[in-house]
Each structure stands twice: as structure tokens, then as C-alpha cells.
Chains A and B, each alone.
Chain A
Amino acid sequence: MISRNLPILLSGVLFGAGLTLGGMTDPARVRGFLNLFGDWDPTLAFVMGGAVIVMAIAWQLQPKLARPIFADTFALPSRRDLTPRLIGGSALFGIGWGVAGLCPGPGIAALVIEPISAAIFVAAMLAGMFLIRLTEGNA
């Protein structure tokens, strides 16, 4: 149990460190990146690029493993269908991301950077998630 949760804790810590080092927890940096038609800040392209390159290598290794190193089975998404729900939801997310310059991971990591602002964002985010569950009755 503890040994299984240790890699998950380490992943969370690395993730939070990477988000903060990369500038994702700074709304001005994020909105600067989204300000493509203004005073553009390309920093986040380096964040995304670095993360995607490392993960692309991991995806090459994944099929070679019979099972995960610290778990019994892989539990990975397999859907490939493009739905209005996927696109509409991503559009809503993008608008919210643009408004405040925060997405879920940085919002949670920022709880130790600016606690009150981050808590308002995270509480509203959870409320938004809950709202969808209420309206759809599923998850």
C-alpha cells in the first residue's frame, strides 16, 4: 500500500515542481503565452515541448512492459471518438484558462503560492465539475 503510493506521491511532487519552475503557476506567464496576437511570451511552448518529448519516450517504452513497475495492470484510456462533448468541454476549459491564466494542476499547486486566490479558483473548479455530474448523473 505505502510502496504503491510512494511513486504516486513522487509523481505529484515532480509535477508540482515542474509546473512552478516552468511558470504555469504564474497567471501572467500563462496569459502571456495565450496572448499570441499581442506581446507573446513563448515560455510555455518550452514547458509543453519538454513534457511531451519525455512522455513520447515513455509511450515508446510502455508496450514493452507486461505490467507497470509498481502496479498489476495498466489502466489507460482507449477511446478514439471525437464528440461534440469533447470539443465543447475543451472550448469551455480554454475560455476559463484564458480568463484567469490557471488550469487544474497549477491552480492546486498555487495553494501554497497565493492561498486565497488559488482556493477560490480550486473551489469553483470543483463546483463546476460537480455541476456537470449533477446535470448528467454520470461521470
Chain B
Amino acid sequence: MTLPGFPDATPLAGLGGGILIGLAAALMLLGVGRIAGVSGIASRATGISDSSLRKSSAWIFLLGLPFGALVVIAAIDRLEPSFANPMLLAVAGLLVGAGTRLGSGCTSGHGVCGMSRLSPRSLVATATFMAFGIATVATMNALGLKVLP
């Protein structure tokens, strides 16, 4: 299925992926009593932050992420995605790491878990990172900076 006017969009795969993410977060909430926030879990696993989540549990969640990716790659044919050059990846990674620590969360914790709870902090955080993400892409495009081949 395609969206009229958006030939490159894959709305069904998007919706299916979103539902899987929602189920994953719901399992964390109702099963384990926690927010499935990847930036927080990553900083817990590496000892950068402390929380009542066991370190081993944090690692187990993180290991699940690439494992789930492998399952999807094995199940469906898709084009190899291309990534930014190492310099840009490093700059972006630094900003993402520092920003999610200062902002107490990322797309998963604020965008999925917090927004669906109507948490005021998450609504503001999500509106902010979306706005700055959009502004960054618009600015780079206006300057003619090509990130992906």
C-alpha cells in the first residue's frame, strides 16, 4: 500500500513497526513496571547512570534490540540503508548522548511512553526534539549539506 502523494512512504510497515514498539513498551510497563526508554537503559547498562533497574536487566534489554533487528532483516527483503560519514556520526552521537541525558529521555521514553501518558515533560521534550530535528534537516538542506549518499 502506498500513500497518495507520497510514493516513498511505507505506511503499513510503519504502523506494524509502531505497534510492535508499543507492545514492547507495554510489556515493560505492565510486565516489569518500567518505562522502555532506550537512552536511560543504555546509560544504566554502562554505569553512566544509576537506577533500581538491575544492570544485567538493562543489558538484556539492549541485547534484544539488535536481535529483533536481525529477525526483521531475515524475514523481509529491504534495501541496505546508508549511513552518514564517521565524522557526522560521531558529532550526532555526542549530541544525542548529551542531549538525552540532560533531557531525561529520547524518542522511546518521551516520544512513545511519555506522550501516550500525556506527561507534560514528555510532551514538551518531544515537541522540542522534533522541532530541532526538523530545523536541523531544513538548515542542512538549505546549506546544501548532503549527509547520505
A→B interface (CB under 8 Å): 4-5, 7-29, 31-32, 34-38, 40-59, 61-62, 65, 67-71, 73-77, 79-82, 85-105, 107-114, 117-118, 120-133, 139
Contacts and interface: CB of A to CB of B under 8 A. Distances in A.
8 contacts: A8-B61, A15-B61, A55-B26, A90-B102, A90-B103, A99-B84, A99-B91, A123-B93
Contacts of A14: 20-21, 23-24, 27, 64, 68
Contact of B94 (A61, A102, A124, A133): A124
Interface of B: 3, 6, 8-36, 38-39, 42-43, 46, 48-53, 56-57, 60-73, 76, 80-84, 86, 88-104, 106-108, 110-117, 119-121, 124-126, 128-138, 140-141, 147-148
B10 to A, nearest CB: 5
Contacts, number: 511
A18 B69 CA distance: 8
Contact of A15 (B24, B52, B103, B141): B24
Nearest to B137: A34
A54 to B, nearest CB: 3
Contacts of A15: 20-21, 24-25, 36, 38, 61, 64-65, 68, 108
A44 to B, nearest CB: 7
B136 A42 contact: no
A93 B111 CA distance: 12
B110 A40 contact: no
Given A86-B125, A112-B66, A128-B94, A22 B101 contact: no
B137 A75 contact: no
B93 A109 contact: no
A82 B120 contact: yes
A4 B64 contact: no
B120 A13 contact: no
